A and B are shown apart, each in its own frame.
Chain A
């Protein structure tokens, strides 16, 4: 019996299966329409990424103790941000009510809002003027509030205070100063790498590229949502990174760095300057032998082309799934989580940047986290990444262009032109 007959029969059998199944499908279309109203009280779930310190659970326990009929259950999603988004999108696609409250990365707001996966929140019920305004912006889509800002994040320039002091240098405000300072230090420390950020091809590269462009006075997307990345300023920003790699100011292997690889290099004393999030402060300062640089480093705002640079805004916001039940409880829980008490306890437990401005001026907290004033400055001058419904495509286009330029596969001119074309298409 020939293979052809076998194939034909298999096809026929498959065809029958198609017919059968097509009768039964279509159920996923006629589901009940999600309601935007924040109604209903009862049990809710809270889908979130890592609860590093267990403090989320602690706060949830606190809430549960006083809300016997409105219990909150944490659903822990995987450690990686992409996997978290994948789970949330999947559940939205099948209109599942499994998740009520979503812990969203700041760059997902537009996508989730525009697809109606999350509901609008009543802005008047949050005292938004008490929050850091850049953080509030990340929770909005077309000027409406879709999430409550809970964590913020901004990049800092970590530097080796001991080495700079020894070489008689001050923390740099511009890239030129950074290079000069590094050359001065290299006189005695020839092996040290000058600078690194996150240059692996992933979201971190978008963050670092945006920072370079903004810090050179350029923009990726302007205030009207138009792509403007083919400007001379943007080129100057990208070129700073490209020449950094070419001249060895940035070590070659930094092209493989995500946050953790860079942190290890900095902690091993291999880097003089390092662009990093605040989380590195506690880890690099550990005196248990894991960090060679404990007590030897400090932070400064990011440098720029002609003056202080501008960080890219990170952080997380809490939103309510359009398909979740008991949205009134969810709203109350979010208010509880964004309260000053909760944010303070979060900062103390996790050292994640809060979104309430007052906490950055709290003397007691500053004593424990001396970088808070610098961080506030960084966040207030920070620029968001493009707020796009198709953010996934936008960030991939940026990563393609930046990675090609950094690895020398394309010149920065060509890379930025291509990026401009793609962004225009995506942001239409």
Chain B
């Protein structure tokens, strides 16, 4: 599937590719490296500028997981909220995108415009009406009070993106399958979905991360610390005294919430890419 690279294995091209990869890695990871370094310094030399933490210390990490904070529980909450959001977004988004990409009905453009229009209002201004609504219907301190907003923030992108991907799939493929006796649903499931896997997978990653990082809704809708998500927990880290800001602890927590995401993506994408190759795209 990367025939462009396989075919022309010239040295020049390889140097360029690897140079590019190196640049990307540095660009993406340098600030993160600084975050990690800050996380592994001792709190007492938090603001040193040395390139390596000296001495290396796990104090900040220990502080994140001190029993009083309950950060493990917060991580679990984040996982539940982001996981459910992602699954629902994909299910709802795929159906909507299928309708927009394949069905012929009136007002299609208006529907698509309306969906994206919901991404145009400043999120910060939705907060108070939403709080009022959720208070009235008794949703305060529930998972759904965080899942449903995250779902609605993620849906427009998911629908549009998936529509674009489904549209790229030649309609003839499905028609061929339907001629072979598949129903419309089967044709979609067996032909289009696997082919659009990169798009679905990417949508899933983006949705999951956006939900995982959501802060202001989770902060406003939940006041029970056993229900709080990781980002909210981080905002509640306190220093030892007054204005003292626990920078190191916050950075350590930042590393803790970022690394698992990356590892999970790494594992998943291997499987997805492997699955694609096995299925034989073309």
Q: Is the CB of A96 within 8 A of B135?
A: yes
B109 CB within 8 Å of chain A: yes
Q: Which residues of A contact B117 (CB under 8 A)?
A: 10, 14
Complex interface bits, B123-148 against A, C-beta within 8 A gives 1, otherwise 0: 00001100110011000100000000
B68, B113, B128, B131: the one contacting A9 at CB < 8 Å is B113
B114 CB within 8 Å of chain A: yes
Complex interface bits, A263-298 against B, C-beta within 8 A gives 1, otherwise 0: 110000000000001110011001011100000000
Q: Is the CB of B113 within 8 A of A7?
A: yes
Q: Which residues of A contact B243 (CB under 8 A)?
A: 258-260, 263, 277, 279
- With both chains docked as a complex, state the minimum distance between the C-beta of A347 and any C-beta of chain B, in angstroms: 12
Q: A267's closest neighbor in chain B, by CB? A: B47
Taken together as a complex, chains A and B put the C-alpha atoms of A223 and B47 apart, in Å, by 44
* Among B117, B135, B237, residue most surrounded by chain A Cβ atoms (within 10 Å): B135
- With both chains docked as a complex, state the minimum distance between the C-beta of B119 and any C-beta of chain A, in angstroms: 13
Q: Which residues of A contact B114 (CB under 8 A)?
A: 10, 13-14
B91 CB within 8 Å of chain A: no
Known pairs A9-B109, A13-B114; A57 contacts B241 (CB<8 A): no
Q: Is the CB of A6 within 8 A of B241?
A: no
A6, A47, A93: the one contacting B113 at CB < 8 Å is A6
Q: Is the CB of A260 within 8 A of B241?
A: no
- With both chains docked as a complex, state the minimum distance between the C-beta of A72 and any C-beta of chain B, in angstroms: 14
Complex interface bits, A205-227 against B, C-beta within 8 A gives 1, otherwise 0: 00000000000000000000000
Q: Is the CB of B68 within 8 A of A54?
A: yes
The stretch of A75-83, A175-183, A303-311, A418-426 that contacts the partner chain: A75-83
Taken together as a complex, chains A and B put the C-alpha atoms of A282 and B68 apart, in Å, by 22
B240 CB within 8 Å of chain A: yes
Q: Is the CB of B241 within 8 A of A350?
A: yes
- With both chains docked as a complex, state the minimum distance between the C-beta of A92 and any C-beta of chain B, in angstroms: 11
Q: Is the CB of B236 within 8 A of A28?
A: no
Complex interface bits, B235-264 against A, C-beta within 8 A gives 1, otherwise 0: 111111111110000000000000000000
- With both chains docked as a complex, state the minimum distance between the C-beta of B166 and any C-beta of chain A, in angstroms: 20
Q: Is the CB of B235 within 8 A of A5?
A: no
Interface size classification for chain A = 35 or more
Taken together as a complex, chains A and B put the C-alpha atoms of A14 and B114 apart, in Å, by 8
Q: A5's closest neighbor in chain B, by CB? A: B109
Q: Which residues of B contact A77 (CB under 8 A)?
A: 236
Q: Which residues of B contact A350 (CB under 8 A)?
A: 241-242
Q: Is the CB of A10 within 8 A of B220?
A: no
Taken together as a complex, chains A and B put the C-alpha atoms of A98 and B131 apart, in Å, by 12
Q: Which residues of B contact A51 (CB under 8 A)?
A: 238
Q: Which residues of A contact B113 (CB under 8 A)?
A: 6-7, 9-10
Q: Is the CB of B68 within 8 A of A52?
A: no
Interface residues of B in 201-237 (CB under 8 A from A): 219-220, 223-225, 232, 235-237
Taken together as a complex, chains A and B put the C-alpha atoms of A47 and B235 apart, in Å, by 15
Known pairs A6-B113, A50-B239; A260 contacts B245 (CB<8 A): yes
- With both chains docked as a complex, state the minimum distance between the C-beta of A209 and any C-beta of chain B, in angstroms: 18
Q: Which residues of B contact A98 (CB under 8 A)?
A: 135, 140, 223
A128 CB within 8 Å of chain B: no
Q: Is the CB of B237 within 8 A of A79?
A: yes
B127, B131, B235, B244: the one contacting A96 at CB < 8 Å is B131
Complex interface bits, A74-116 against B, C-beta within 8 A gives 1, otherwise 0: 0111111001000100110110101100000000000000000
Q: Which residues of B contact A9 (CB under 8 A)?
A: 107, 109-110, 113
Known pairs A10-B114, A10-B117; A52 contacts B236 (CB<8 A): no
Q: A2's closest neighbor in chain B, by CB? A: B109
Complex interface bits, A3-22 against B, C-beta within 8 A gives 1, otherwise 0: 00111011011100000000
Known A5-B109, A94-B128, A263-B243; further 4 A-B contacts with Cβ < 8 A: A6-B110, A10-B110, A94-B131, A96-B131
The 4 closest A-B CB pairs, nearest first, are A279-B242, A9-B110, A290-B44, A50-B238
- A residues sitting closer than 8 Å to B (CB atoms) are 1, 5-7, 9-10, 12-14, 27-28, 45, 47, 50-54, 57, 75-80, 83, 87, 90-91, 93-94, 96, 98-99, 258-260, 263-264, 277-279, 282-283, 286, 288-290, 350-352
